[in-house]
Amino acid sequence: MSARQALGKGLGALIPDKSPAEAEGKRIFFSCGIEEIQANPFQPRKFFGDESLQELVQSIREKGILQPLMVRRKGDRYELIAGERRWRAAQKAGIKEVPILVKDVSESELLELSLIENIQRENLNPIEEAEAYRGLMDQFHFTQEEISQKVGKDRATVANALRLLKLPPEIKQSLSEGKVSVGHARALLGVESPEKQRMAWRKVLADGLSVRQTENLIKRLRAKNPAGSGKSSSGWEALVEELQRSLGTRVRILGRRKRGRIEIEFYSPEELERILDFLRR
């Protein structure tokens, strides 16, 4: 079974039950100096909450590291595959040696394993998850459909996650830190102007708006745009929502009722082909 075929089944599917070393009766679990391990450059998780990390530090001080870190050899050192929170916490706890499990994986498998581990444990924030998907697309040319199969999520979920990367940096940071929810972020995508997104975002934070209130705010902002100015007229909202549900992507209707045009967004050649197939049917 190839690594790509196994991804959707989780980490276990990528790791054989018995490695050659195990088959020969050799020990593959052992300890090494914590300074011999370096971070995973493809680690999709960028934000490590201080409070939860401190709890892990305390646990390691009391009980040690119960699950070995998964690593690969990198020259005369080791590179993390999975277990970066444990590695970081062990450093803070003053641990000098940590248990490791060495596996031979390629760079593409390294990124895939890191992504799968974090997604399955639900450790990534929405922006980290979206950036991990983008990394798989940019570096290893995965399609959205392939990613959805690998991580066990439907294609629309992957596409919606990628859309979050279109938001201004400060809004993405706010989403990463949990100051706004994915629901808020998706509502903000209802207007294309970054300035209007920022204006609405600041009001969400200042007034503590719910997702529904944010959606209503976005509708009011869109309604202020004159018909034909490049935004969907509020009179088309029901039809726009129906088209978006059917096509699985963002749709805009521009112009007046007697004349206008429909714009359908796509985010990859594969998604364009999927939309075209749908329209042909």
**Structure confidence at residue 103 (pLDDT):** 85
Over residues 26-39, the mean pLDDT reads 77
- Residue with more model confidence, 236 or 232: 236
The pLDDT > 70 percentage for the chain reads 77
**Structure confidence at residue 46 (pLDDT):** 60
| The pLDDT of residue 92 is above 50 | yes
Full-prediction pTM beyond 0.75? no
Task: Give every CB contact of residue 256 below 8 A, 6+ residues apart in sequence.
Answer: 227, 228, 233
| The pLDDT of residue 28 is above 80 | no
- Residue with more model confidence, 139 or 9: 139
| The pLDDT of residue 86 is above 80 | yes
The pLDDT > 90 percentage for the chain reads 18
Over residues 254-269, the mean pLDDT reads 80
Q: What is the 3-state secondary structure (H, E, C) of the chain?
A: CCHHHHHHHCHHHHCCCCCHHHHCCCCCEEEEEHHHEECCCCCCCCCCCHHHHHHHHHHHHHHCCCCCEEEEEECCEEEEEECHHHHHHHHHHCCCEEEEEECCCCHHHHHHHHHHHHHHCCCCCHHHHHHHHHHHHHHHCCCHHHHHHHHCCCHHHHHHHHHHHHCCHHHHHHHHCCCCCHHHHHHHCCCCCHHHHHHHHHHHHHHCCCHHHHHHHHHHHHHCCCCCCCCCCHHHHHHHHHHHHHHCCCEEEEECCCCEEEEECCCCHHHHHHHHHHHHC
**Structure confidence at residue 209 (pLDDT):** 94
**Structure confidence at residue 197 (pLDDT):** 93
| The pLDDT of residue 228 is above 50 | no
| The pLDDT of residue 154 is above 80 | yes
**Structure confidence at residue 235 (pLDDT):** 59
Over residues 24-52, the mean pLDDT reads 68
**Structure confidence at residue 44 (pLDDT):** 62
**Structure confidence at residue 188 (pLDDT):** 94
**Structure confidence at residue 165 (pLDDT):** 92
Q: Which of 19-33, 99-113, 146-160, 169-183 is predicted with the least confidence, judged by mean pLDDT?
A: 19-33
Task: Provide the annotated active-site residues.
Answer: 84
Task: Give every CB contact of residue 136 below 8 A, 6+ residues apart in sequence.
Answer: 111, 112, 115, 142, 147, 150
Per-residue pLDDT band for 6 (boundaries 50, 70, 90) equals very low
The average confidence (pLDDT) of the chain is: 78
| The pLDDT of residue 200 is above 90 | yes
**Structure confidence at residue 25 (pLDDT):** 35
Give how far Cα 99 sits from Cα of 48, 116, 153, Å. Answer: 21, 22, 32
Per-residue pLDDT band for 49 (boundaries 50, 70, 90) equals low
